[in-house]
Amino acid sequence: MRWHPVLMIVGLLVGAAGCRTQGQVSPQDRSPGTEAKRLVAQAGRSVVAPPAGTMTVYVDESAPPRPTADEQRRGFILFTRPMTQVLFPAAVPKTQERVKALSLAACPGEYEPAVLAIWALQGLSGVKVSVSDLTGPKGTIPAAAVEVRSMRIQPKLGQRRWGPYQETLMDVPLFLEQRDSVDIPANHNQAFWLTVRVPDDTAAGDYSGTVRVEAAGSSGAQVPLKLHVYGLRLAEPTGVRFGMCDRLRTDAAWLEETFADLRAHGMTGLILTGPESGLKLRNAGGKVVIDWDGTSALEMTMDAYAKAGFPEPITWIWHNDIVAFCQTLGPPQSSAFAEAYRQAIAAINEHAKQAGWRPINHCPVDEPFDDAQQLALAMRLLGILRNIPGVRTEANGMNGHWDQFSDEAYGLLDVLVLHDGPVLRRGQIDLNAWWAFLRKSQRDGKRIEFYNIDVTTWRPEPIRYMTGFGLWKSGAQGTYEWAYMWAVKETDPGWAYSQPKPVLFRYPRAPGESGGPTTGYEGAREGVDDYRYLLTLSQLVERARRAGKGSLADQVWQPVQAKLDAATFDNCVGKAAQGDWTGKCEIRPDGTRVARGDMKIDNGWGFGDYDALRAMIGAGIERLQGAVEQ
C-alpha cells in the first residue's frame, strides 16, 4: 500500500473550522486556513500556511432553531446527528435534531458511540461533558465505561481526483481527543462523542444515566442517557479479515499498545509493510541461513501479533531486504536468486510455525500492476513462492489495471485484494461481471478482499458501509485500510500533528496531545459490528429453521434482507463513489472553494439507516433467541 490517498468506493463530508482550549481561536480569527496557521506556530514544524484561494470552506446559511427560554438562559442548544454524518462546527442544528435523550443499544463487550453536539448561542468557555453511572434492574455500569471525547479540527489535504471542492486544504473534523474542557465561539457547534464499552458481565436489560453539560457562567444542562443491553455476545466471524496497514516495528511497548487498540476496534488481521524486515541473512556455503535472535522488526511484530490474539493471517507486503540479499547471489531471473529466495521464505515460514506465529500471506510487491517493471518482479517472485509448500500468496490493486492482470497472475495467487469494492475495472461498474468473478474465485479456492475503501480517515460513512453491510452484501471476505499509524515514528509522535497529508487512522499521544481515533476509524469498528450483528442473526435464523420455526425465521430475516437489497453498488465509481455535496458549491474570485450541505455517498441509504438496520437486527436477535431457547 502506498502512503498517498487513493480512490475510494464511497465518501462523506461537511466542512468548517474548530476550537479548543489550547491555542483557542476567537470567532473573528476563524478565517480559511486559521487552523493550519495555528498549527504552524504551535508545532514549529513544516506545515505551510495556505495562501488565500487554496482552501475549501464549509458554509451553512440555515437559520438555527429559535431557542427556548431554558436554552437562552444557559446559552446553548443541544442536538445530535448520526455518527455517519460528518459534523463541522459551522453546521447549524435543525429543530428536529434537538436532544431529548441519547439512546444506545449494544451487547456485552461491544463499544457503541453517541454524538452530542453543543450549538453556542454566545461564546462559551470551559465547556465540559460528563456521564453518570448507568443503573439498571440487575446492576450498574460505571461512568468510567463511557469515554467522552471532543472533536478535533485539523487541516487536511484532499486529492484532485475527488473534484475541485475536495482537492485543497480543508479544516476537517478529524479525530476524537480528550481535553479537560473546550471553548466554543458563538454560532458554532462543538461535537462530543460518548462511547460506551459495555462490561463483559453486564446483565441484559435497560440502563439509564445522565449526561451533564457544564460551561463557565452557565446553568448547564442534563440529558438522559439510555442503554439497552442485549442478552448475548456477538458472533465472531471466521475467515473474514478486518484490518489496517501498519509497518514493522521494534518497539515492544508501542506494538503491545497499538495492537490492543486495533483488536478493540474489531480488527482481525493486519497488513505489514516495511520495507525492511531487519532479518539477519547470510550465505553459508550456498545455503541461506537466518540468525533468529528476536530483535528484528519481523520477529518482534509477529510475536506481538500472536500475543494480541489476532485470529486471521497477517499479510506481509514488500520483501525488499530479502530480495536485495538474494540479488547478491544472482539477478532475479537466475536460478541462484530463485533458490536463495525460496530458501529464505521457506525458513521464515518454518520459523513462524515453531514460534507460534499466525500464518503469513506473502505479497512481495505492492500494487505491482501499476508499472511493467514492478509487475515483472512480482511475477518472478510469485512464481517462486508458488512452489514453496505451505506458502500463501497475495497481490493487490489488479483492478486498477485489469488489462495487466493475466490468467497467469490469477493462477499464482491465493488472495486477490481489489481497490474500492466490487469493481473489477476501477472507474467502471459491472455487477454481473463481479458476481461471475466472485463465483469463479470461490470455485478456485481463492479469497477476495477489498482495500482503501476510504483513506481520508475522517469520513465514517463509506468505511462503515463497506466494512459491514456492504461487505456482507458483496460476498467478499475482508477489507483493510491504509494506514493505521504507518508514517508515525515512535521517537517523534508529535510530527503527525503538523502534517496535513499523511494518512493516519489514529493519532498518537504526544506532548500536549491526547491523541485519539479518527472518525473513519470509529466507522470501521461500527462496520465490523454491523457485520457481526448480521452474522449473529443469520446463525439464529438457521437455528430457528432447524428447530422447525422457519416461518418465524423468515418474518425476522426478510425485512433485514429487504433493507440490504435497497442498498446499491450501482454508483460506486467516480464522484458518486466518493460522495457529492448535496448543497450548492462555488469557487470565489480569489479561488477559495465553498461547499454546502452534506457529502453523501450514493448507495440508496440515509445517514440514519445504518443504526436503524442495526436496531432491526438487534430486535430480531432478541426475538429469535427467545424462540429457539424455549
In this structure, are residues 120 and 76 in contact, taking their beta carbons and an 8 Å threshold? Answer: yes
pLDDT at 39: 37
SS3 210: strand
At 13, is the secondary structure helix, strand, or coil? Answer: strand
Place of cell 463530508: 13
By C-alpha distance, which of 61, 121, 69, 66 is closest to 91?
61
Q: Report the range of poorest mean pLDDT among 45-59, 115-129, 435-449, 585-599.
A: 45-59
Which of the four pLDDT bands, split at 50, 70 and 90, describes residue 120?
A: very high
Instruction: Output the CA–CA distances (angstroms, integers) from residue 584 to 149, 232, 594, 604, 605, in the order listed.
Output: 32, 46, 8, 21, 21
> How do residues 339-372 score in pLDDT, each as one tens digit?
999 999 999 999 999 999 999 999 999 999 999 9
In this prediction, residue 600 carries a pLDDT of 86
Q: What number of other Cβ atoms are within 10 A of residue 502's Cβ?
A: 19
Which of 479, 447, 449, 456 is closest to 466 using CA atoms? 479
* Interval 476-487 mean pLDDT: 95
Q: Which of 320, 285, 265, 340 is nearest to 112 (CA)?
A: 265
Per-residue pLDDT of 70-118, as tens digits, reads 999 999 999 999 999 999 999 999 999 999 999 999 999 999 999 999 9
Residue 209: phi, psi to the nearest 5? -155, -160
Fold of the domain spanning 27-229: Immunoglobulin-like (2.60.40)
Neighbouring C-beta atoms of residue 434, cutoff 10 Å: 21
**Strands 169-177 vs 146-157: parallel, antiparallel or unpaired:** antiparallel
What are the boundaries of each domain within the chain? 27-229, 241-517
Q: Mean pLDDT check: name the lowest of 113-117, 158-162, 320-324, 380-384.
A: 158-162
For the segment 588-617, the average pLDDT, to the nearest whole number, is 93
The pLDDT score that the predictor gives to residue 428 is 86
578: confidence class by pLDDT, cuts 50, 70, 90: low
Radius of gyration of the chain (CA): 25
Q: How confident is the model at residue 252 (pLDDT cuts 50, 70, 90)?
A: very high
pTM metric for this prediction: 0.91
Burial of 306 (0-12, 13-18, 19+ CB in 10 A): middle
**What does the alpha-carbon distance between residue 418 and residue 433 come to, in Å, rounded to a whole number?**
14
Residues in a beta bridge with 479: 242, 450
Q: How confident is the model at residue 604 (pLDDT cuts 50, 70, 90)?
A: very high
CB-count exposure of residue 49 (10 Å: 0-12, 13-18, 19+): middle
Cβ atoms of 458 and 14 within 8 Å: the answer is no
The per-residue pLDDT for 502 is 76
Q: Count of CB atoms within 10 A of residue 167's CB?
A: 16
Please, are residues 558 and 589 in contact by the beta-carbon 8 Å criterion?
no
Q: Cα–Cα distance between 572 and 419 in angstroms, integer?
A: 11
Pairing of the two strands 599-600 and 580-581 = antiparallel
pLDDT bin (cut points 50, 70, 90) of residue 456 is: confident
- How many C-beta atoms surround the C-beta of residue 363 within 10 A? 29
Quick one: which of 77, 65, 20, 19 has its CA closest to 223? 77
Cross-strand bridge partners of residue 114: 194
**Segment among 253-257, 384-388, 502-506 with least mean pLDDT:** 502-506
Render 491-511 in DSSP notation, one character per residue.
Answer: T-GGGGGG-SSS--SEEPPBT
pLDDT of residue 22: 29
Give the architecture (CATH level 2) of 241-517: Alpha-Beta Barrel (3.20)
Residue 137: its pLDDT value, please?
A: 84
pLDDT at 299 over 50: yes
Assess contact for 156 and 245: CB atoms under 8 A: no
Q: How confident is the model at residue 498 (pLDDT cuts 50, 70, 90)?
A: confident
> What is the model's pLDDT at position 53?
57
Stretch 399-403: mean pLDDT, rounded? Answer: 92
Residue 4 has pLDDT above 80, yes or no: no
For the chain, what percent of residues have pLDDT higher than 90?
79
* Grid cell at residue 184: 466554543
CA trace torsion 221, 116, 501, 486 (10° rounding): 110
Q: What is the pLDDT of residue 301?
A: 97
DSSP 68: P
Instruction: Reply yes or no on whether the pLDDT at 476 is more than 80.
Output: yes
pLDDT value at residue 49: 47
Query: Which distant-in-sequence residues (6+ apart) come within 8 Å of 240 by Cβ?
Result: 268, 312, 471, 477, 478, 531
